[in-house]
Amino acid sequence: DADVTQTPRNRITKTGKRIMLECSQTKGHDRMYWYRQDPGLGLRLIYYSFDVKDINKGEISDGYSVSRQAQAKFSLSLESAIPNQTALYFCATSDWDTQYFGPGTRLTVL
Amino acid sequence: AQSVTQPDIHITVSEGASLELRCNYSYGATPYLFWYVQSPGQGLQLLLKYFSGDTLVQGIKGFEAEFKRSQSSFNLRKPSVHWSDAAEYFCAVAGSGNTGKLIFGQGTTLQVKP
């Protein structure tokens, strides 16, 4: 089984809809992250969490929110999706020095 | 502010040829440096990392990278490329205090010709 799983893997939604992307990890790490990937821009950090009670904004948090339900679960929400949030979204978890990535969720906002 | 630049967006090499992917970083203190590979439809896999010590680091799949502080570079190399190496490669930097926040470069797409 994969160490970091993301659901759904693909999602098409409409402008204005609320959507949640979920991430679970079995590595036992405290730190978790959400990134988005856009062509030519690499990965950019949306939110990160160092433990259940410690959540921080990243580089591009506007339009997103997160919830850390447990050490193993970190969800990303788009409260009102817009087309420029169409991207590939990655969850990651880390020990003190190395990040491990999930397979990604491809989100399309029409 | 920290930043990472990968000057080559797309590189094509012949199978069996050598490979070098460039990475330049901007960071005031000692950086933590990483190379990740993303195969089509997959997440990112760590190839190698540099924190301190020997400036030539070995990674998985036959890759190596050399940290050159004077040039602010951390270039990735492989002596003989295989068709399965076709993928997108990302260089990333983290602060030496290791907050865990990675700054990624734009990525380099590697195409391998038979």
Q: What is the pLDDT along chain B (114 residues), one digit of tens a residue?
A: 788 999 999 999 999 999 999 999 998 777 889 999 999 888 899 999 998 888 999 999 999 999 999 999 999 999 999 999 999 999 999 865 556 688 999 999 999 999
CA-based end-to-end distance of chain B: 41
- Measured CA to CA, the distance from residue B87 to residue B85 in angstroms comes to 6
* Closest by Cα among A102, A84, A59, A12 to B102: A59
Which residue in the block uniquely carries the two structure tokens 């295989």? B82
Residue B106, chain A, CB below 8 Å: the answer is yes
Structure confidence at residue A1 as a pLDDT band (50, 70, 90):
low
B101/A42 Cβ within 8 A: no
| pLDDT for the residue B98 | 57
Mutation for B interface: A9, A25, A36, A43, most B CBs within 10 A: A43
Q: pLDDT digit string (tens) for A62-103?
A: 999 999 999 999 999 999 999 999 999 999 999 877 889 999
Chains A & B: contacts with CB separation below 8 Å? 52
Contact list, B41 vs chain A (CB under 8 Å): 103
**Which tokens is A85 given?**
């949030």
Encode burial over B6-21: b for 16+ CB neighbours within 10 A, e otherwise.
beeeebebeeeeebeb
Residue B101, chain A, CB below 8 Å: the answer is yes
Q: Which residue does chain A place closest to B37, by CA atoms?
A: A101
For B18, the 3-state DSSP assignment is coil
Residue B43, chain A, CB below 8 Å: the answer is yes
Distance from CA of A15 to the nearest CA of B (A): 25
Option in A31, A42, A100 nearest B104 (CB): A42
Distance from CA of A10 to the nearest CA of B (A): 11
Contact list, A40 vs chain B (CB under 8 Å): 9, 106-107
How many residues would you count in chain B? 114
